[in-house]
Amino acid sequence: MRKFLPFFVCLALIISFTQATYCADPLAVGFQTPPDSAKLWAYWWWLNGNVTEESLTRDLEGMKAKGFGGAIIFDADGSNQDGNVRVPAGPMFGTDEWRKLYKHTLKEACRSPRR
């Protein structure tokens, strides 16, 4: 029995290290893989409503790839401030066409990014 003692000691150490790995601290796990609510968010400006379904999808996929957890949408102009060339107008806020783009954004935000 004594000759198996080193074996049992090694086995006990392996089990204790394995348990430490599999029984990780939830705080540490949350820090390594935070929920979307704890991730970086962006102010997402739809300048003068000048967006398309393709550009919205591309922006959302880019935000997701960079680890963003969300975005706050602003549909405003101001594109011609400080001497910049004015951005062409897209659909007016609240119109049927604008709401269609907004619904597309919500649908795209709920799916996994294309790879």
Give dist(CA 113, CA 86) in Å, integer. 31
Burial classification of residue 5, based on how many CB atoms lie within 10 Å of its CB (0-12 exposed, 13-18 middle, 19 or more buried): exposed
Q: Which amino acid is at 31?
A: F
pTM: 0.66
Task: Please write the tens of the pLDDT for every residue from 56-67.
Answer: 999 999 999 998
Q: CA-to-CA distance for 75 and 94, rounded, in angstroms? A: 10
Residue 97 pLDDT:
95
Alpha carbon 45 to chain centroid, angstroms: 17
Spans of all domains in the chain: 1-33, 34-115
